Amino acid sequence: MARPMQVSRYWRHFREKYRLIGGKCENGHVHFPKRPVCPVCGSRNVEEIELSGKGKVISWTIVRNPPSGFEYYKPFPLALIELEEGPIVLAQLTDVDPEEIDFGMEVEVVTKKIKEFEEDGIILYGYKFRPPVK
Amino acid sequence: MRKAVIIGAGMTPVGEHWKLGLRDLAVEAIFNAMEDAGIDKVDSLYVGNMISGPFVEQENLGALIADWAGLGNIPAVKIEAACASGGAAVQEGVKAVMSGLEDVVAVVGVEKMTDAWPSDATRYLAYAADAEWELFHGASFVALNALVMRYYMKTYGYTEEDLALFAVNAHANGAKNPYAMFKRPIKVETVLKSPYVADPLKLFDASPVCDGAASVIITTPEKAKELGVPKEKWVEVAGMGRAIDTISLASREDLLTLKAAKVAAERAYKMAGVEPKDIDFFEVHDAFTVMAALSLEALGAAKKGEGAKLAKEGQIAIDADYPIQTMGGLKARGHPVGATGVYQTVEAVLQLRGEAPSQVPDAEIGLTQNIGGTGSNITVSIFRRV
């Protein structure tokens, strides 16, 4: 499993994972995460864009047998969320009763702990989504 | 381009082989295929395998298996395309023969999965997903397929019961296959009462973690004649295609279209000069019940949104119009991931020779479709009786 020397592997994505930085090509197509080539039109002229983090649940599941390293959180909800700018993001849902999750449910991004490794390991943070705090 | 025929096929039973290691399984399957063809040497070996590194700390499978099978100083490599590794290895072997570079090729698909803890196995399988954007968030393969399953049911109005019919059909056929892991028929209730692994996907919607190996021998018709292989054993490789789609599910243009299967199938149909209605049986990749439905749609056997309808109308049984999973499919035969595409090929060969335990009457043309990732890497091959 991951050791501290793997810090760089996670650190290089911290902007995307803390601030939801995606890509927008010269023709206006938005995607997440940012890619070197626009998946819609093939343009390589892609700029960074910070996404709003507001979206809707389009499908979800409750993960009961997670991959090793996520046992502590089980069972946890995982969803596909369509952001208001268009791209779909895969993320865990948090601060929600699994029974309340439904198609089209509005959610907003929040930074949370994703997982931690052993005693000498790193703690990973990233985006999860929750029902909007009013 | 030369023609390619399969002249030998062999396999091991699928199951939890606690007494056999990866090399034992692979060698046994190769010996069975070579014996079936009646030959004692090959020009090269292609090994279909997905994740031997994490599972058994062994890479360099080309050297390991050719060495232990006593195949001599031949070229031998591992081909990896996630769960479609077996299908890809068969196609690489066929390409070598068709190109004229190699005359007699052995392909083996092998996976040894039961040496790992279940949660580690879940993790290794998820290596076929996007590590940074899917596994990072704790997505298992089952979870990704569950997201598709819920969306499919919602979009077209199907129920968990409807999709369970694919598992029931697979088990009915697997019950007759001596090489299958599960040789018992099941009922819809069996599926519905099984525990959720990732809602709405239940244990019986999913294929098992298991071990196994399967092998085929490929050559040209001329060489087959020269080697004295009786014509009854030949099965022609009529068409093949392969394509990829976005590695992460979230990036898909349409969650409910297996674009890679569609593109791969178009190529395979064109090369074989046939249409979906000409296919006598479909060995589709039913790692999860919803994938069987989406596969039938992508392969042109059903219209979009009507894959599960074929199951509801009883059209997927052995004696119906679109028989699938004739020897149990991934669900009942078992899914030793990197070996599955080769098992499908072996089963297609047996059907076309008329030697299958649950025989499709007068089968002349069969199709195999092998999915890697959540639809991200797919092979389609079409075989014809000679």
Q: Which of B136, B137, B202, B374 to mutate to test the interface with A (most CBs of A within 10 A)?
A: B137
Q: Does B122 contact chain A (CB < 8 Å)?
A: yes
Q: Is the ipTM of this complex over 0.85?
A: yes
Hey, how many other C-beta atoms are within 10 angstroms of the C-beta on A95?
A: 12
Active site residue B83: yes
User: Which has more pLDDT, B122 or A8?
Assistant: B122
Looking at CA atoms only, how far is residue B132 from chain A in angstroms? 8
Q: Does B123 contact chain A (CB < 8 Å)?
A: yes
- A87 contacts in chain B (CB < 8 Å): 250
- B129 contacts in chain A (CB < 8 Å): none
pLDDT at A4 over 60: no
Give the rounded percent of residues in chain B with a pLDDT score beyond 90: 100
Q: What is the mean pLDDT of residues B295-311?
A: 98
Active site residue B285: no
- B197 contacts in chain A (CB < 8 Å): 64-65
Of A39, A67, A87, the CB nearest to B140: A67
- B138 contacts in chain A (CB < 8 Å): 63, 66-67, 69-70, 73, 76, 78, 92, 114-115
Helix (H) or strand (E) holding B172: helix B160-174
Q: What is the mean pLDDT of residues B275-292?
A: 98
Look at B138 and A114 and tell me if their CB atoms are within 8 Å. yes
**pLDDT at residue number A9:** 83
pLDDT at A1 over 90: no
Q: What is the pLDDT of residues A46-103, one digit of tens each?
A: 999 999 999 999 999 999 999 988 988 899 999 999 999 999 999 999 999 999 999 9
- B255 contacts in chain A (CB < 8 Å): 58-59, 80
Q: What is the mean pLDDT of residues B166-182?
A: 98
State chain B's maximal CA–CA distance in angstroms. 57
Q: Does A49 contact chain B (CB < 8 Å)?
A: no
Q: What is the mean pLDDT of residues B341-353?
A: 98
Q: Which has the closest alpha carbon to A40: B375, B246, B262?
A: B246
Look at A61 and B200 and tell me if their CB atoms are within 8 Å. yes
CA angle B243, B246, B250 (to 5 degrees): 150
Which positions ≥6 away from B342 have C-beta within 8 Å? B11, B29, B48, B86, B87, B89, B90, B107, B108, B109, B213, B214, B215, B216
Residue A127 in contact with residue A20, Cβ under 8 Å?
yes
